[in-house]
Amino acid sequence: MGYLTTQDGTQLYYKDWGSGPAVVFSHGWPLNADAWDGQLLFLAQQGFRVIAHDRRGHGRSSQSPEGNDMNGYADDLAAVIEALGLTDTTLIGHSTGGGEVARYIGRYGTGRVAKVVLISAVPPIMVQTPDNPDGLPLAVFDEMRAGLADDRAQFYQDLAIKFYGVNRPGAEVSDGILHQFWSWSMQAGLWNAYQSVAAFSETDFRDDLAAFDVPTLVMQGDDDQIVPIKNASMKTAQLVSGAQEVYYPGAPHGITATHQDQVNQDLLTFLKS
């Protein structure tokens, strides 16, 4: 575990466990690298080197006033990969982190990348536009920004309910999972979290996905209340040639926690393929 400093002076915290083929994880909004611990521990025990960083403005990374957009996030991911000298790397992104991974490939290509996994990821584009009529109305994201500005602590408690599908009949999600979501979220700077809403909702990743030329796995729960599956993973799979698809019936957005064992096994199968 350590820190690196980007070209604009932002300090990025990262964890680096195990040895073997490198797997780099990009987390969802507004969390941090700890959200991946269930995957990091499992894969490190299976002979992989696992790396995850806190996005700028989140967790233990510094709360930079600049670069809180997908280009900035992709550049930070590149800084981690380059600082650690990684090659033949598998990139795994959840939610906003999936957008970060897609934009990294759009900006830097796949010279250092062997495989990609997008989990409940925001590409191709979340917001409704004339050429994306199935997207969510901009008002949805305006309401998120208003909630953050008004009472972010309560906003994050409410968000956790949908994130993990606690409002669905039969849901089994511990209080601990909900509390850790809130704790991680509150570590994100308000300015950074606020700016990030536009980054994950309004960025168009279709050109980035067109640059994918390595084996790609798309994973998502089909009851995702945060990132609608029909306008996300299913469309992404159509845009990435040869993409593999794994969908979890009745599963929510936060499948890395609610379906941890199943996700871990599917990741291991893909990594070893």
Q: What is the pLDDT of residue 15?
A: 98
Predicted local confidence at residue 245, as pLDDT: 98
Q: Considering the candidates 224, 233, 259, 266, report the single residue annotated as catalytic.
A: 224
pLDDT in tens, 231-267: 999 999 999 999 999 999 999 999 999 999 999 999 9
Distance CA 192, CA 194 (A): 5
* Calpha distance 22→57 (Å, rounded): 25
Instruction: Give the architecture-level CATH label for domain 2-272.
Output: 3-Layer(aba) Sandwich (3.40)
Identify the active-site residue in 95, 196, 201, 233: 95
Mean predicted lDDT score pLDDT of the chain: 98
The percentage of residues in the chain with a pLDDT greater than 70, rounded to a whole number, is 100
For the chain, give me the number of helices (H) and strands (E)?
A: 10, 8
Confidence of residue 176 (pLDDT cuts 50, 70, 90): very high
The per-residue pLDDT for 165 is 98
- What pLDDT score was predicted for residue 113? 98
- Is position 158 annotated as part of the catalytic site? no
Residue 270 CA to residue 22 CA, distance in Å, equals 14
Q: What values do phi and psi take at 19, rounded to 5?
A: -145, 155
Residue-level pLDDT at 136: 98
Q: Structural domain boundaries of the chain? A: 2-272
- Residue 63: is it exposed, middle or buried by C-beta count within 10 angstroms (0-12/13-18/19+)? middle
Q: Which of 233, 253, 259, 266 is catalytic?
A: 253
**pLDDT tens track for 147-159:** 999 999 999 999 9
Of all residues in the chain, what percent carry a pLDDT higher than 90?
Answer: 100
Task: Indicate if the pLDDT at residue 1 is higher than 80.
Answer: no
Active site residue 95: yes
* Predicted local confidence at residue 163, as pLDDT: 98
CB 268 within 8 A of CB 43: yes
Assigned token pair, 223? 């009851």
> E strand or H helix at 91, and its extent?
strand 89-94
Q: How confident is the model at residue 178 (pLDDT cuts 50, 70, 90)?
A: very high
Decide if 253 is catalytic: yes
119-135 pLDDT, tens digit per residue, is 999 999 999 999 999 99
What are 19-61's pLDDT values in tens digits? Answer: 999 999 999 999 999 999 999 999 999 999 999 999 999 999 9
